[in-house]
Amino acid sequence: MKNDEKDRLLRNAMEEHGDYLKRLIYTYVKDVQKAEDILQDTFVKFYTRFDQFEKRSSVKTYLYRIAVNESQNYLRSWSFRKVEFADRLRTFKQGTSAEDQYITNEGNRTLGELVKELPVKYREVIWLYYYDELTVNEISEILACSPNTVKTRLSRGRKLAKISIEEGDYEY
């Protein structure tokens, strides 16, 4: 494939899918700056590996798969763990107890925050299904799992969300 054609495909992909991918990545990393970095890495990987794209799926699902992999790689990385530890240490040094933090944060709960607090395997399918409006089959391609697994995770994620709402943990 010619570089001009790859450049055009990249620009189109960035315009069409950039915002959706950024939101998806944010659901994993919960940090806007890091989400933007991973989004950039996603597009670089898309551009450099486009010749390997087998076109069995759409460009959209290919991009989502790259974004999910990049996000998961970041969460497994040492740099993420160092940042997470530093944040916890800073909170501890400030003398803020977990109870004080809970009381402070309790009034600010929304459904969006509820989704962010779900375990990753439920959060990702709920996000892709409801926010990005992907089909179960598209989600299964992106996450490299069966459609039945996606349906099960959707069901369990909804149940967890429902329990949190019923217990009064979240306002909507």
Domain ranges of the chain: 1-100, 103-162
CB 39 within 8 A of CB 22: yes
When pLDDT is cut at 50, 70 and 90, the band that residue 39 belongs to is very high
User: How many CA atoms lie within 13 Å of 90's alpha carbon, on the beta-carbon side?
Assistant: 6
The DSSP code for 55 is: S
Residue 5 in this model has a pLDDT that exceeds 70? yes
User: CATH assignment of 103-162, given 1.10.10.10, 1.10.630.10, 3.40.50.720, 2.40.160.40?
Assistant: 1.10.10.10
CB 116 within 8 A of CB 167: no
Region 1-100: CATH code: 1.10.1740.10
- Which of 97, 118, 101, 94 has the alpha carbon at shortest distance from 170? 118
Residue 154 in this model has a pLDDT that exceeds 70? yes
